[in-house]
Chains A and B, each alone.
Chain A
C-alpha cells in the first residue's frame, strides 16, 4: 500500500539524518583536533632540528662511536617494520594506505627469502596484521590521536633493545607523513641503524648546506655523548613520526567525515523526493477513489428505481 511505503521512507530519512548528525560531529571534532595536532608537529620541530644538528656536529667532529646503532650489519637477514596507523576506523583510506605499504614491503622481503617482524602502533594496524597471520613482535595502541613523548620513548627503547639483542638487523618506519592539510603521503623511512643518509634525510628535511665548525669542545668525550644521544635521537624520530601520523589521521578523518556528511545530505534529498512523490501518489489515488465513489453514487441515483416489494406480510403466521 502506498501509505506504508511513505512510512518506510520517512523512517529511512530519519535514520540518515541521525547518521549525518554523527558524521558532522565527528568532522568538527577531527577539525579541532587536527589544528591541535598540527601545532604539536610544529612544536616538536625545534627539538628534532637541534638534536639532528648535534648528531651531525658529532659526526663531523669525528665522534667515532662503536655504538651498534650506527654501524649497519654485514648481512641484513631480518627487517622490522614499525607500522604507525590509527586506533579507530572511519578515516577514509588512512589505515589501508599504511597497511598496504607495510604489507607490500613484508611480501617483498619474504620473496627475497628474508624474515621480517612487525611492530604495530595503533589498534587498527594490529588487528589487520593479526587477522592475516603476520608475525607481530610488539603492538602498541590507544594513543594514536594524541601521542606523547613518553609513548615514543616506550617504543624507542623497545625497538633499540630488540635491535641490540639481534632480533632484527634493521628497522624501518612506515607511517603517513603530514605535508599540509590537503596532502599526506605514506612513507617508509629507515630508522636503525643510523647511517649518514638517515641522519641527513631526517624527516623530510634536506641536509644543512651550512658547513658546521668541527672545533667543538666535548664533555665527556664525543663517543660517550654519541652513545647517550643516539637512543634519544631514535626516540625523537619516532616521536616526529607519531605526531605526523596523528595530524594526518585527523586530516583524513575530517575529509572522510565531510564526504560522509555530504553524502548523507544527498541521500536525504533523494529520499525525500521519492517520499514526496509517493505521498502525492497516494493522495492522488485517494482523491480518485473519492471522486469515483461520489461519481458512482450521484450518477447511479438517477437510474436507480424503487422496486415495490409489496406489503410486508408475516410469513410465520401462515
Chain B
C-alpha cells in the first residue's frame, strides 16, 4: 500500500511525524479535503477543524487544528499550525464549557470572538470523540 510522510508542526514542537495513508482536513472557505499518497503539489490555508490522519496500521489520529497551513509536495504533507492538539490531549470538559459559553454569548449578540471560540471548541470536541455531550460544572 502506498504511503506518504505526514508532518504536523507547531512553532514549539513537532506534534506528529510519520507514515500515513490518508489526511483529511478543512481549508479556509474550501470545505474538507482529503490527501492520498501521490497527491499533486498543494498549498492551502486551514480553518479551525478536526483533522484526521489515517496511519499505516489503520488507526486514525484525531487532531484539533486551530488554523494554519497545509503544504503537499513530493509525497509529504506538512501541516503548520499555531495551535494544534492531539485528540487524546484535549480537555473535553474545558472544551464543552467553552462551547456553552460561546453559544450563550451568540444567543444574545453576534460576536466574531465568540464565533471563533465556538468553532475552536467544536474542533476540539470533534477531535476528542464527538460533538455532543454536556459539560460538568459549567454554571
Q: Could you give, for residues 244-258 of chain A, a 1 whenever the CB lies within 8 Å of some chain B CB and a 0 otherwise?
A: 000000000000000
Number of interface residues of A (CB under 8 A): 34
Known: A57-B71, A225-B43. Contact between A51 and B80, CB under 8 A?
Answer: yes
In the bound complex, do residue A216 and residue B13 qualify as a contact, i.e. CB atoms below 8 Å apart? no
In the bound complex, do residue B82 and residue A224 qualify as a contact, i.e. CB atoms below 8 Å apart? no
In the bound complex, do residue B43 and residue A217 qualify as a contact, i.e. CB atoms below 8 Å apart? yes
Q: How far is the CA of A58 from the CA of B44 in the complex (A)?
A: 10
Name the residue of chain B whose CB is nearest to the CB of A58. Answer: B43
- Residues of chain A within 8 A (CB-CB) of B11 are 44, 47-48, 149, 152, 235-236, 239
B126 at the interface (CB under 8 A from A): no
Name the residue of chain A whose CB is nearest to the CB of B13. Answer: A43
Q: Could you give, for residues 54-74 of chain B, a 1 whenever the CB lies within 8 Å of some chain A CB and a 0 otherwise?
A: 000000000000000101010
Interface residues of B in 28-86 (CB under 8 A from A): 28-30, 33, 40-45, 69, 71, 73, 78, 80, 82
B9 at the interface (CB under 8 A from A): yes
- Residues of chain A within 8 A (CB-CB) of B13 are 43
A222 at the interface (CB under 8 A from B): yes
Known: A40-B12, A219-B27. Contact between A54 and B80, CB under 8 A?
Answer: yes
Partner of A148 from B12, B27, B78 at Cβ < 8 Å:
B12
Q: Could you give, for residues 33-67 of chain A, a 1 whenever the CB lies within 8 Å of some chain B CB and a 0 otherwise?
A: 00000001001101110110110011001000000
Interface residues of A in 217-238 (CB under 8 A from B): 217-220, 222, 224-225, 228-229, 232, 235-236
Known: A219-B27, A224-B28. Contact between A47 and B9, CB under 8 A?
Answer: yes
Q: How far is the CA of A53 from the CA of B80 in the complex (A)?
A: 11
Known: A43-B12, A43-B14. Contact between A54 and B29, CB under 8 A?
Answer: no
In the bound complex, do residue B41 and residue A215 qualify as a contact, i.e. CB atoms below 8 Å apart? yes
- Residues of chain A within 8 A (CB-CB) of B14 are 43, 46
Q: Which A residues fall within an 8 A CB radius of B?
A: 40, 43-44, 46-48, 50-51, 53-54, 57-58, 61, 148-149, 152-153, 212-213, 215-220, 222, 224-225, 228-229, 232, 235-236, 239
Known: A218-B43, A229-B45. Contact between A50 and B80, CB under 8 A?
Answer: yes
In the bound complex, do residue B41 and residue A149 qualify as a contact, i.e. CB atoms below 8 Å apart? no
A-B CB contact pairs (8 Å), 18 listed: A46-B7, A46-B9, A47-B10, A47-B80, A53-B71, A54-B80, A57-B43, A213-B73, A217-B42, A218-B43, A218-B44, A219-B30, A219-B33, A220-B45, A224-B28, A224-B45, A228-B69, A235-B11
- Residues of chain B within 8 A (CB-CB) of A218 are 42-44
In the bound complex, do residue B12 and residue A220 qualify as a contact, i.e. CB atoms below 8 Å apart? no
- Residues of chain B within 8 A (CB-CB) of A48 are 11
Q: How far is the CA of A57 from the CA of B9 in the complex (A)?
A: 18
- Residues of chain A within 8 A (CB-CB) of B71 are 50, 53-54, 57
The 10 closest A-B pairs by CB, nearest first: A219-B44, A149-B11, A219-B30, A216-B41, A43-B13, A47-B9, A217-B42, A219-B27, A47-B11, A225-B45
In the bound complex, do residue B82 and residue A225 qualify as a contact, i.e. CB atoms below 8 Å apart? no
CB distance from B136 to the nearest CB of A (A): 28
In the bound complex, do residue A54 and residue B69 qualify as a contact, i.e. CB atoms below 8 Å apart? yes
In the bound complex, do residue B12 and residue A149 qualify as a contact, i.e. CB atoms below 8 Å apart? yes
Q: How far is the CA of A183 from the CA of B121 in the complex (A)?
A: 45
Name the residue of chain B whose CB is nearest to the CB of A57. Answer: B43
- Residues of chain A within 8 A (CB-CB) of B73 are 57, 212-213, 216
In the bound complex, do residue A149 and residue B82 qualify as a contact, i.e. CB atoms below 8 Å apart? yes
In the bound complex, do residue A228 and residue B78 qualify as a contact, i.e. CB atoms below 8 Å apart? no
Known: A50-B71, A53-B71. Contact between A232 and B27, CB under 8 A?
Answer: no
Q: Could you give, for residues 7-27 of chain B, a 1 whenever the CB lies within 8 Å of some chain A CB and a 0 otherwise?
A: 101111110000000000001
- Residues of chain A within 8 A (CB-CB) of B40 are 215, 217
In the bound complex, do residue A54 and residue B45 qualify as a contact, i.e. CB atoms below 8 Å apart? no
Q: How far is the CA of A17 from the CA of B48 in the complex (A)?
A: 57
- Residues of chain B within 8 A (CB-CB) of A225 are 43-45, 69
